[in-house]
Structure 1
Amino acid sequence: MDDDLRERLHHAAASHLPDRERMLARIERSMAEEPPVRLPLRAPKPWLRVVGATAAVCGVLAVGAVAVTSAGQGEQGAGRPGQQVAGEPVSPAPEARSTERGGALPAENGPLWSDGSVDAHSNRYWAQSNVTLRTAQPLTALAVELRVALNGGVNTTGSWRSLPVEDFVASAQEEDGFLVYRWTLKPGRNVRAGTYTFAGQYNHAEGVRNAARDDYTARARAAGGQASVGGGFTDGR
């Protein structure tokens, strides 16, 4: 190859060197003008749908279990340990039970006055023992206990009080040779000043029953402190 040809080829090659900046600019313009390529969405495979549905069901069941557990706990909290089932005899707390019998206590003490009597409507087969309690001050706590000696086929037929039934926990059970009725004022409830009756009813053997061993006690708390009264029963028939 002669020198003249070599020189012309060299100039031709030099004139065709790529312009890098122009090429980058052209590529950027092309990318801006063309819409982005989107791949088609594929439907999930059947086994994925099954897994998803199973997870959703498990989630619902888990939430339901948590809700039931929470309701059950709330329901117990409340915090009431030893709660009695409706209709089951309920005994008051030990501190509400009498440690002294009726004959060892006065019939009147502080704001309290009391009396025990066999109701005039009692008969040869059935009787009602009444504890009458009068308070000159409102009471924030009250526990009344009536004991009927188990002499001659005594068994309970019910009880009542002239104060609201929902304000008291009541029970009747046999203890140490006595049929024992108890009424205990619920926490947070009050008894206004006034006169009230607590009555225990029971069957007994035919004839006039001897109430000499029966007794009652009542313990209360008022603004001035605690007061206790008690005594036996007179026959009002």
Structure 2
Amino acid sequence: MEDLKRRLRDAAAAHTPDREGMLERVRLGTSRTVPDRRADRPLSWPRVTLATLASAAALVVGGYTLVPAFHAEGTGRAAAAPTPPSAPSTPSTPPGTQDGPLRSDGAVDPHPNPYWSQSTITLHTGAPLAAMTLEVRVAQTGGVASTGAWRTLPEDDFTLTTTDEGGALLYRWTLKPGRTVPVGQHVFAVQYNHAPGARPVAGDAYAVAAASATGQRHTVAGTFRPAAGTTG
């Protein structure tokens, strides 16, 4: 034991401290950047929400509007929701027209009663439609009030709005984003009450604007063929 203590004292006496080396190690140690462990922590929900709202606010302030578009699968092209032209209201307009693969025909249901009528639009499309808007204008000829509407395509595929513009009822179907109108024949119908007696249909009209999956746009419009017992 005494021998071990002696050897340690001899080693300590022989050691010369490297002062410059120690100072260099201290200098290097204090110059290192301490990592911020907070960056490794997951974002809390409030922080995520605030970041999302800030991005949305920037878009609004910048004047940008996010609108749905219909992307054609495999083409990389998009068909924006079309807006139909103003529905024609002149008696000289034919009940139906054709534009490319899209063809239409309008008629008043042949079984109305003295207080109620139904007007139908029959669409024929030879190509799938990725976007479509259909408007129907029913002139206010006295007592006209909506009693509903229907279509042969799935109800959930469309948004339907009905507005009273004073001089007419306006029905509008808009195909929802991601939905498609398949090839074939499709019927859209509007129903309404009216003043007793034969109702004139000369002021009624419809218009359809559509876009195919490849982005080609088509428009058809027309009036309604009167049923027996009604006036043109």
TM-score grouping bracket, smaller chain normalisation: 0.5 to 0.7
Q: Equivalents in 1 of 2:81, 2:210: separation in Å? A: 15
Q: In the TM superposition, what whole-angstrom CA distance separates every residue of 1:34-77 from its partner, at most 9, and x where no partner exists?
A: xxxxxxxxxxxxxxxxxxxxxxxxxxxxx8989999xxxxxxxx
**1:81 CA displacement:** 8.0
**Cα offset, 1:152, TM superposition:** 1.0
Residues 116-152 of structure 1, C-alpha deviation per residue, up to 9 Å, x if partnerless? 1111121100011101111111111111111000111
Q: Which of these residues, 204, 213, 234, is aligned with residue 225 of structure 2?
A: 234
**Which structure 1 residue ranges, 5 or more long, are not aligned?**
1-20, 22-62, 70-79, 83-92
**2: CA distance between counterparts of 1:114 and 1:108?**
6
Query: Is the 2:208–2:219 Cα contact (8 Å) retained in structure 1?
Result: yes
Query: Residues 107 and 174 (structure 1 numbering): CA distance in 2 closer, same or farther, change over 3 Å?
Result: same
> Which residue of structure 2 aligns with residue 179 of structure 1?
169
Instruction: Show the 5 A alignment for 1:109-148.
Output: 109-148=99-138
2:145 aligned partner, one-letter code: N
Residue of structure 2 equivalent to 1:47:
none
Could you report, residue by residue, the CA deviation over 1:192-222 in whole angstroms, capped at 9, with x for unpaired residues?
1101111111100110110111000111112
Taking only the aligned residue pairs, the percentage that are identical comes to: 43
What is the number of equivalent residue pairs in this alignment?
173
Q: Name the residue aligned to 1:157.
A: 147
State the partner residue of 2:216.
225
Give ranges in structure 2 of 5+ residues lacking alignment. 6-43, 51-64, 68-79
Name the aligned partner's letter for residue 98 of structure 1: P
Which residues in structure 2 correspond to 1:69-80 (within 5 Å)? Answer: none
TM-score (structure 2 length as normaliser): 0.60
Residue 98 of structure 1: which of 54, 74, 85 is its match? 85
Q: Is 1:102–1:217's contact at 8 Å kept on the other side of the alignment? A: no
Aligned partner of 2:227: which letter?
Answer: G
Contact residue 102 and residue 229 of structure 1 kept, 8 A = no
Q: How far 1:95 moved relative to its partner?
A: 5.0
Amino acid of the structure 1 residue aligned with 2:98: E
Q: Any conservation in 1 of the 2:101–2:126 contact (CA below 8 Å)? A: yes
Paired AA for residue 204 in structure 1: H
Contact 1:168 1:184 in 2 (8 A): yes
The answer to whether the Cα contact below 8 Å between 1:102 and 1:230 also exists between their aligned partners in 2 is no
- Give yes or no for contact 2:84–2:207 (8 Å, CA) kept in 1: no
Higher helix share: 1
Shift of 1:168: 0.6
In the other structure, the counterpart of 1:168 is: 158
- CA-based RMSD: 3.9
